[in-house]
Chain A
Amino acid sequence: MNKADVIVVGAGHNGLTSAAFLAKAGLKVLVLEKNPWIGGAAVSRSLHKDWIYSNCSYVCSLLRPEIFRELELGKHGLHVVPYGGGVTFTRDGDILGNYVDEEVKRREIMRYSARDGDAYLRYSRDVMRQCRLVRSLLMRTPPDPTSWRWRDLTEMRHIGREFAALGPAVLADTIRFHTMSIADYLNEYFESDVVKANLAGSGIIGTALGVQSPGTAYVLLHHYMGDVDGQMGAWGFARGGMGAVSQALASALTSFGGTIKVDAPVAQIVVRGGRVRGVALDNGDEYSAPVVISGLDPKRTFLGLLASGDLDPAIAKRARDFKIRGSSGKLNIALDGLPTFPALGKNNPLAAGDMHFLDSLERYERAYDDWKRGMWSRDPYLDLLIPSLTDPTMAPPGKHFMSVFVQYVPVKVKGQDWTDADREAFKKTVFQQISRYSPDFESLVLHAEVRTPRELEAEVGLTEGNIFQGELTFDQLLFNRPFPGFAQYRGPVKGMYMCGSGTHPGGGVMAAPGANAAREVLLDLKRGNTVPNGWSDD
């Protein structure tokens, strides 16, 4: 079968989502994946015997519930288990616990500052208001503000009304959220450095910016706007690791008659007579289809999949200028037992959540300075989780799986490619950071996988190892994502589309870009729409 109605390049979660909705609409869909496994960066891999690693993305919250429901992902085996807790360790041996109950959390904050306890209520309210606004835009195609087309104008009017309904005070806050730094934003609410540090992490994850860089306030929103079981801002584990998300999407896709072919790296999109004809694989095999959707990042899509002769040089420059700086790494660790964290004590339920080790904004900012100079942070930000406490399928009984997200990690070390010695030194830095708060941690390590931007790029195919397929700053969001003029999921050639996280609304395992792209394809093919509209029950 070398012919299809639609070919999707890359079996990441967005590619699979797009494919599933298109197959559901009755199209013959073929997904081509370069790796022997599917899932892109949403994978579960057994890299140490009897352990399952979510070795790239590791937690779930942003996955749009309307997609979950429409594709019946529950029936296809996806079960997201919410986790609670989380803690910021301080250098003097204390903690700030992220209790699930807002009232308990407020009292915890009040241990550091009574004023901050009250401020936390205002802060939560203001952030949630902004989340609702962003959420209402996730499952919509961004309008082109420079266009006079009816569809763009009506969409602009729709968004204008949503904004107007907020009133001037909230609207002012919206502008502020999109342009301020997370440090400045938090400084307006809180006085305790620990409290600010506890909240700041979400503003920098996956982003090549520091807490003092304007634009990071939005990144925080991006991590708050998801939900688990209707609880906005909550996070959960996909049972069986993040690969369970991809497996469920794949199962939905095949149930609609779609096909996935692994070990099939696409070399190029075939263009003839000004339109897409199909794709050619690395081994020379050709597959023909009038529609090709790329789930790859914008740089790989424009500069890799398209022959340079098929691309206007001005557009190629846009793709080259696209900001996709890698800034994070990951350690996946098999543990012989549960490490102790003396500041937490035994059996503290907070251990089931994210553990953080930076207790001041200054430490965050200095971590970023290291990255700017081409080094990994000497005092890195870690987002450490032990998923096996919540999901026992990840490790054998009594043993544990630890996932450590690390920020900041450069794409190149002082301008040079990563060496194995660098990787070892980087691992040591992270181990030391953890050991400061858990003396027995290192003695429990059975196996550790170290992932720098180099591994992320080589294995998953994310350029520079950027986990969001491109930075989440306003110049690359909404109608600017990936770049102006290409924000409506259509590529520069007729029949070519994009569905990756490099398109609106961006990264995280959200599946919204994939769904939105499918809707645009169906619109162009004049097929009935199978993609659900965004919910507005917030």
Chain B
Amino acid sequence: MTKRIIIVGAGHNGLVCAAYLARAGREVLVLEANAQVGGAAVTRTFAPGYQVPAVAHLLYGFDPAIERELQLRQHGFTDAKSRVLTVALNPDGAPLVHDGREVVSGLSHAEDRQAFTDFMHKMRRLAALLKRQHGRTPPQLTWASWRDAWPLVRLALQMRLLGRADMRELLRMITMPMHDVLEESFAGDLLKGALAVDAVLGTKLGPRSGNTVLNFLHRYTGASAPRVPVGGMGAVSESLASAARAAGVQIRLGARVAAINIESGRATGVTLASGEVIAASTVVSGADPKTTFERLVGLQYLEAELARRIHHMRCEGTAAKLHVALRALPQFKGVDAALVGERLLIAPSALYVDEAFNPAKYGEYSTDPIVEISIPSIADPTLAPAGHHVLSAIVQYAPAHLNGGWEAQRAAFEARVLAVLERYAPGFGSHIVATELLTPADLETQFGLRGGHWHHGELTLDQYLTLRPVPGLGHYATPVQALYLCGAGCHPGGGVMGRAGRNAARVVLQGGVS
């Protein structure tokens, strides 16, 4: 009988998991449907000569332990830009610039300066507690024995160690809407708009929705400012693949897994779309939970309650990706040339973000969307022909389930977004060489993200920690023997962090069962 472990999908979590398993001496085969590794963390050509990070474009919380343990620096991972500033564009004047710790310039209200420093300091302290959970398997919700209860007790103790003031703030704020916290803390609209974006990006939530403080904390569990790797996000995946191969992992590209084979309640391997059957002693799925169970495994292998929960897991993406090839660097109103390579935000107030959100509730896209812009070719000129640039923008809200479907409205939405960009960067349109719009529907078909949700599932408290992806699947193991999950649908969730893959590898090695 084979000892082979099959990993479904060469996304960053799948690669991390594979590398750790191989380093522990296991025989590992990674099967990837696409022609390149990386899943949603890839750099690809969208127009001849122009490359962009296709989905994720800024690196926030990649686990430094993984970077160290897998020696990614030796496998080609380097920063092109290490502390990306956030530039909140102002439709009528100078932008607000912050580095995640302090406001650099552009404050409209002087009292916000200290308030921002204190606020970010507090949020980082609270985020540190969440971060401490990231490297662990989530606690059980049972008290059957000390062994079961210990992770929960430890979490409670860690909360206590925050000190009274911070613990109270955590217990008060964790369910709150970002809007309310911003109203308590700041006066300036531009600042509130920028922070609201950090709380809602990638989710189907508005600033007035509960759980958005949680999303904000999740973002700041990483560094206080994002970074951009040389070669774009794809370089992260390439270095992971290189590290995995060095550890003995075999990676097969263009090998789409059609089914995970189950016999007598146990995973026995996979069947590829080509019909080829590959046997394995263990299968680890990096695909999102819905895809894994509804398409690859088949719900008949799950008991009804769990099948129902998986069916209802919320994973409707609302973020679209717009790529623009430019023959010249655009001029954003009021923005110094030195700042154009930073993270530019179009979200002039929290109210703007809320109004952008409202249509998404009814299956419509925002007519005035929030936009997060990165021009990676400034730091990394290899991405575009000499003198030319590529612009990568996350545009929200563009709900996956658009009334009338995306095909009919794709052009209208793209025109809308370009009009918004034109407003902030007059003359922008005249620089355009080519564009590519990836709607959540495209993210689903091209990257296998169910619902086009880049976290593989909404990051809210009911889908967090032990309850992620759904109650009963919170510990990487599944009710199907020898089948594990390792994607962003698991604790601790999305963002290019690699922790889900690392945690899953540990559980697989321990032979954990659900």
Contact = CB atoms under 8 A, between A and B. Distances in A.
Main secondary structure of the interface of B (DSSP, over half): helix
12 contacts: A146-B164, A168-B141, A169-B305, A172-B472, A179-B210, A179-B211, A180-B460, A212-B209, A213-B210, A214-B462, A480-B172, A484-B172
B108 interface: no
Contact of B167 (A146, A169, A175): A146
B141 A172 contact: yes
A369 B355 CA distance: 9
B471 interface: yes
Contact of B171 (A145, A172, A179, A187): A145
B180 interface: yes
A475 B176 contact: yes
Interface string A152-167: 0000000010001001
Interface string A163-193: 0100111011101101111001001100000
B132 interface: no
Interface residues of B, number: 38
Contact of A369 (B160, B358, B466): B358
A323 interface: yes
B382 interface: no
Given A169-B471, A187-B312, A474-B175, 18 more contacts: A145-B167, A146-B167, A168-B471, A172-B466, A172-B472, A176-B471, A188-B308, A209-B210, A213-B210, A214-B175, A214-B210, A214-B211, A214-B462, A321-B183, A372-B354, A473-B176, A479-B171, A480-B172
A475 B209 CA distance: 13
State which size class the interface on A falls in: 35 or more
Nearest to A365: B361
A144 to B, nearest CB: 9
Nearest to B359: A369
A362 interface: yes
A173 B184 CA distance: 31
A213 B209 contact: yes
A5 B255 CA distance: 81
Nearest to B176: A475
Contact of B168 (A160, A184, A188, A484): A484
Nearest to A146: B164
A189 to B, nearest CB: 9
Contacts of B362: 362, 365-366
Given A214-B211, A474-B175, A175 B184 contact: no
Contacts of B141: 168, 171-172
A296 B461 CA distance: 33
B274 interface: no
Contacts of B176: 473, 475
B300 interface: no
Interface in B457-506: 460-462, 466-467, 471-472
Interface string B157-185: 00010001001110111011100100110
Contact of A321 (B171, B184, B471): B184
Contacts of B510: none
B123 to A, nearest CB: 15
B140 interface: yes
A323 B168 CA distance: 17
B460 A214 contact: yes
Main secondary structure of the interface of A (DSSP, over half): helix
A209 B175 CA distance: 13
Given A175-B462, A473-B210, A188 B312 contact: yes
Interface of B: 140-143, 160, 164, 167-169, 171-173, 175-177, 180, 183-184, 205, 208-211, 305, 308, 312, 314, 354, 358, 361-362, 460-462, 466-467, 471-472
A51 interface: no
Contacts of B168: 146, 484-485
Contact of B467 (A172, A184, A214): A172
B130 to A, nearest CB: 15
Interface string A315-341: 000000101000000000000000000
Nearest to A160: B143
Contacts of B210: 179, 181, 209, 213-215, 473-474
A483 interface: yes
A163 B308 CA distance: 24
Contacts of B140: 168
Given A168-B471, A172-B471, A176-B467, A215 B175 contact: yes
A479 B361 CA distance: 32
A485 B164 CA distance: 10
Nearest to B141: A168
Contacts of B466: 172
Given A145-B167, A168-B142, A176 B312 contact: no
Nearest to B168: A484
B357 to A, nearest CB: 10
A179 B172 contact: no
A365 B141 CA distance: 34
